[in-house]
Amino acid sequence: MKINTREYLSKFIESEKAQKDPQFNLDNPEKCDLCGTSFSSQDFLIDGEARDTPQIFLENGQTVGQWAYMCAECFKARGVDIKWGRGQLYEKTTGNEWLLVGGFPPD
C-alpha cells in the first residue's frame, strides 16, 4: 500500500509551533536538487541532508553529508531525518511562501 506524502510527513509536522513562531525559507528554490521536480507543483519542500553523499567530519566527532533541497519523494528515498542539524520541513502557504513546519531549532 502506497502512503501519500502528507501522511508520510505528518509525523514531522509541528503545526502549533509553526503558527506560534512563523519562520520561512527565504531562498525560494525552484526545483529539487536530486530529481529536478519543480517545487511549483509541490506542497512540501525539505532542506536537508541526503543519504549516500560524501561525509564531512565535525569537531564533535559526528559526520554530516551534503544537503539538498528535496521534494517529498526524494526525501522518502534519500533524506536522513527532519530535526535540527539534519533537515527542515517546509509547507507551501496560500501565499506561495515556504513555512517551516518541522525541524525547528532547540528551545
Quick: pLDDT tens for 58-75: 888 877 788 999 999 999
**Count of structural domains within the chain:** 1
Does residue 48 form part of some domain? Answer: yes
Does residue 106 form part of some domain? Answer: no
Give the whole-angstrom CA distance, residue 36 versus residue 13.
Answer: 24
Confidence of residue 89 (pLDDT cuts 50, 70, 90): very high
Confidence of residue 3 (pLDDT cuts 50, 70, 90): low
Does residue 19 form part of some domain? Answer: yes
More confident call, 46 vs 52: 46
Does residue 47 form part of some domain? Answer: yes
Q: Which domain holds residue 45?
A: 5-101
- What 3-state DSSP class applies to 69? strand
Does residue 23 form part of some domain? Answer: yes
Does residue 107 form part of some domain? Answer: no
E-state strands within 7-106: 44-49, 56-57, 63-64, 67-70, 87-92, 98-102
How far from the centroid of its chain's Cα atoms is residue 72's Cα?
A: 8
Average pLDDT over residues 24-38: 94
Average pLDDT over residues 3-23: 88
Does residue 97 form part of some domain? Answer: yes
More confident call, 31 vs 65: 31
